[in-house]
């Protein structure tokens, strides 16, 4: 398989630009946020950034006193005998937020946003945390994660000249897994996909495009070392993954100059981590997990290596298979990557060098994923509490996208029919993930474990009732729910765009692709709508009414608007009350629905049914 390095034709470039314009909206225009229940994984990282910028310290005490207590903190006794709060998370997010937050701190007064003190009103402090979180998320997480997807599409051109397969793979990884949901939060679970795959991809690209190792560049070696180290700075449990990527880099950059570049990049990350841990915990080699404020968690982290033990069958299955929380169960496209496994033994490429390269590439990415699974499944808290899918496996999506593309491209070969089949299978399975987890992520990105079908039992009822999150339209006075639905439509259209690209395919082959895609989507998505069986622990059909009582932003959902209409006309108009009751019943507000239906004075027969 010899892939041309020439840039794609103009028509293809326009399709790619349209695709990324659609993808940009969910990454950059949505802000799922609940002040009352916001993920402590995010809060502690945000507090660390605030402490660095405002106080020049890692200690969170003054920020906690102002903004309120959050979980996931360590409580450490200093040399002066005073106990202080610190973040127990990897320091990379805290560092990355410094510039955006420092700029926001300067710009906020110009925008007439009150910069609070400990004596400020509670609403002012809540508003400050909300807006600060939004800015830090946008510039230090969401934007880098989106730009990585643009790079990923260009990188995959080295393995397939088929724009349909490439865009499908990018959609599957970027908006068809929890990559999107965690890119909308100031956490590490998507960012360490970016850093780890960049370490892998830059190394592989240098090996593939520069056969003579003397031509392999120092600056690339440095970036690889930096990215491999940054991976562990983001997620401590990613250390085995960083080790695999570093060994691969040393094997490729086999020269004193290459070794120096890798070592220098890695040394920067090691120094930043050791400085962080020494200043917080008094030991540059010890993370803060043994000092976690929660005594139960502190005891758990004393087991094994800071809470890391051998994986169990339960953890491997639990992180991989369930339809509502597993990596493959939520995003079936990723199964296709395993079709590339035979390339390790007998890659069917056109030349000896290409066969060797594909063998090495496949072996390394699969080894890297085995290391990631080993670490994630070996965590005592492997499910990790409230999540959107398996957050500890956040780095996996781009690696599996690469594996799927190489396998599908090999299967398609020069056969137009095979290519139509490959495209159809890819699109159908990828779009299942877009709906099952991508759409959920732009509603809310941290769900309790008892919700076994996030799309059917959480996202769909809330979308129907208009309980959707903040969006950038609010910055420009567009306070309604409409802009969110525009973003949701863009998300779905991005997932379907590869299906609409006909290219040079005949009408018959394009129709074959469409039929197969629809059939595969129906098969893959079916578990998301089925009632969970008894092997899954959780609610068969959870009540989402509690979420609506404290939803943020408040008061712009369809139930509130329907109630305002019904109250305005009173009982003399029956239909608004019936429509309100129908909507309330759909989101488990049965008692309220019964009371509101009773307020209707006229018969129901003349009232049109509630739409959507």
Residue 148 CA from chain centroid, whole number? 13
Say what the pLDDT of residue 537 is: 82
Q: Please give the structure tokens belonging to residue 565.
A: 């209409």
Q: How far apart are CA 326 and CA 436, in angstroms?
A: 11
Nearest CA among 56, 58, 60, 53 for reference residue 85: 60
Q: How far apart are CA 325 and CA 330, in angstroms?
A: 6
Entry pTM: 0.95
Q: E-assigned strands of 132-262?
A: none
For range 235-245, the mean pLDDT: 95
| Of 243-247, 451-455, 574-578, minimum mean pLDDT range | 574-578
Backbone angles phi, psi at 71, to 5 degrees: -80, -175
| Contact indicator for 233, 431 with CB cutoff of 8 Å | no
Q: How far apart are CA 576 and CA 160, in angstroms?
A: 55
Q: How far apart are CA 502 and CA 264, in angstroms?
A: 47
Nearest CA among 608, 457, 573 for reference residue 596: 573
Which tens digits make up the pLDDT trace of 14-38? Answer: 999 999 999 999 999 999 998 888 8
Which tens digits make up the pLDDT trace of 336-373? Answer: 999 998 888 776 666 778 888 999 999 999 999 999 99
Say what the pLDDT of residue 563 is: 92
- DSSP summary character for residue 117: -
| Contact indicator for 388, 449 with CB cutoff of 8 Å | no
| Contact indicator for 59, 276 with CB cutoff of 8 Å | no
Q: How far apart are CA 63 and CA 454, in angstroms?
A: 34
Nearest CA among 529, 511, 354 for reference residue 432: 529
Which tens digits make up the pLDDT trace of 165-207? Answer: 999 999 999 999 999 999 999 999 999 999 999 999 999 999 9
Which tens digits make up the pLDDT trace of 68-106? Answer: 998 888 888 888 888 999 998 999 999 999 999 999 999
Judge if the upstream peptide bond of residue 553 is cis by omega within 30 degrees of 0: yes
For range 532-558, the mean pLDDT: 85
Say what the pLDDT of residue 238 is: 94
Q: How far apart are CA 549 and CA 546, in angstroms?
A: 5
Say what the pLDDT of residue 386 is: 87
As to burial, measured by CB atoms within 10 angstroms (0-12 exposed, 13-18 middle, 19+ buried), residue 214 is exposed
For range 46-60, the mean pLDDT: 96
Give the orientation angle of helix 163-174 with respect to helix 143-156, to 10 degrees: 150
Which tens digits make up the pLDDT trace of 440-480? Answer: 999 999 999 999 999 999 999 999 999 999 999 999 989 99
Beta bridge partners of 494: none
Q: E-assigned strands of 104-221?
A: none
Say what the pLDDT of residue 2 is: 45
- DSSP summary character for residue 76: E
Q: Please give the structure tokens belonging to residue 496.
A: 């379907």
Q: How far apart are CA 448 and CA 215, in angstroms?
A: 51
φ/ψ bin of 498: left (φ > 0), alpha (ψ from -120 to 50), beta (otherwise): alpha
When pLDDT is cut at 50, 70 and 90, the band that residue 1 belongs to is very low
Q: Check pLDDT > 70 for residue 301.
A: no
């Amino acid at each position: 398989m010899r892939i041309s390095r020439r840039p794609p034709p103009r028509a293809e470039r326009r399709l790619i630009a349209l695709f990324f314009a659609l993808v940009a909206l969910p990454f950059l225009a949505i802000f799922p946020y609940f002040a009352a229940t916001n993920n402590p994984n995010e809060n502690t990282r945000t507090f660390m950034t605030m402490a660095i910028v405002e106080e020049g310290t890692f200690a969170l005490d003054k920020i906690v006193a102002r903004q309120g207590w959050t979980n996931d903190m360590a409580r450490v006794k200093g040399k002066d005998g005073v106990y202080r709060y610190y973040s127990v998370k990897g320091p990379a997010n805290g560092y990355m937020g410094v510039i955006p937050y420092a700029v926001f701190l300067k710009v906020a007064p110009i925008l007439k946003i009150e910069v609070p003190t400990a004596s400020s009103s509670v609403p002012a402090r809540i508003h400050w945390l909300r807006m600060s979180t939004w800015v830090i998320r946008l510039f230090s997480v969401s934007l880098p994660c989106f730009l990585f997807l643009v790079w990923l599409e260009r990188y995959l051109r080295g393995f397939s000249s088929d724009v349909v397969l490439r865009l499908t793979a990018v959609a599957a990884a970027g908006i068809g897994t929890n990559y999107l949901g965690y890119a909308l939060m100031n956490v590490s679970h998507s960012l360490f996909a970016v850093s780890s795959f960049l370490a892998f991809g830059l190394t592989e690209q240098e090996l593939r495009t520069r056969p003579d190792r003397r031509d392999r560049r120092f600056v690339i070696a440095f970036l690889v070392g930096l990215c491999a180290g940054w991976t562990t700075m983001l997620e401590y449990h990613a250390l085995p993954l960083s080790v695999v990527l570093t060994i691969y880099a040393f094997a490729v950059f086999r020269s004193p100059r290459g070794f120096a570049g890798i070592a220098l990049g890695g040394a920067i990350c090691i120094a930043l981590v050791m400085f962080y841990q020494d200043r917080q915990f008094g030991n540059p080699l010890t993370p803060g997990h043994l000092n976690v404020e929660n005594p139960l968690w502190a005891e758990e982290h004393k087991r094994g290596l800071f809470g890391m033990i051998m994986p169990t069958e339960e953890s491997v299955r639990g992180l991989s298979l369930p339809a509502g929380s597993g990596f493959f169960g939520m995003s079936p496209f990723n199964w296709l990557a395993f079709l590339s496994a035979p390339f390790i033994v007998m890659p069917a490429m056109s030349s000896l060098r290409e066969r060797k390269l594909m063998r090495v590439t496949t072996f390394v990415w699969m080894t890297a994923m085995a290391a990631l699974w080993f670490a994630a499944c070996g965590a005592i808290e492997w499910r990790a509490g409230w999540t959107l899918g398996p957050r500890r496996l956040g780095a996996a999506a781009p690696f599996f996208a690469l594996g799927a593309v190489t396998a599908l491209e090999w299967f398609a070969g020069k056969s137009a029919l095979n290519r139509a089949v490959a495209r159809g299978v890819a699109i159908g399975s990828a779009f299942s993930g877009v709906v099952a987890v991508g759409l959920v992520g732009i509603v809310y990105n941290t769900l309790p474990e008892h919700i076994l079908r996030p799309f059917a039992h959480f996202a769909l009822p809330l979308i129907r009732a208009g309980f959707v999150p903040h969006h950038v339209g609010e910055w420009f006075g567009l306070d309604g729910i409409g802009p969110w639905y525009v973003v949701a439509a863009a998300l779905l259209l991005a997932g379907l765009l590869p299906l609409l690209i006909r290219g040079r395919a005949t009408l018959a082959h394009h129709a074959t692709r469409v039929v197969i895609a629809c059939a595969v989507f129906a098969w893959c998505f079916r578990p998301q709508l089925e009632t969970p069986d008894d092997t899954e622990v959780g609610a068969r059909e959870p009540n989402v009414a509690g979420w609506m009582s404290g939803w943020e932003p408040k008061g712009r959902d369809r139930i509130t608007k329907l109630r305002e209409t019904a109250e305005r006309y009173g009982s003399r108009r029956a239909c608004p009350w019936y429509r309100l009751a129908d909507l309330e019943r759909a989101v488990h507000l049965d008692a309220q629905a019964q009371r509101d239906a009773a307020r209707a004075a006229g018969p129901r027969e003349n009232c049109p049914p509630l739409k959507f």
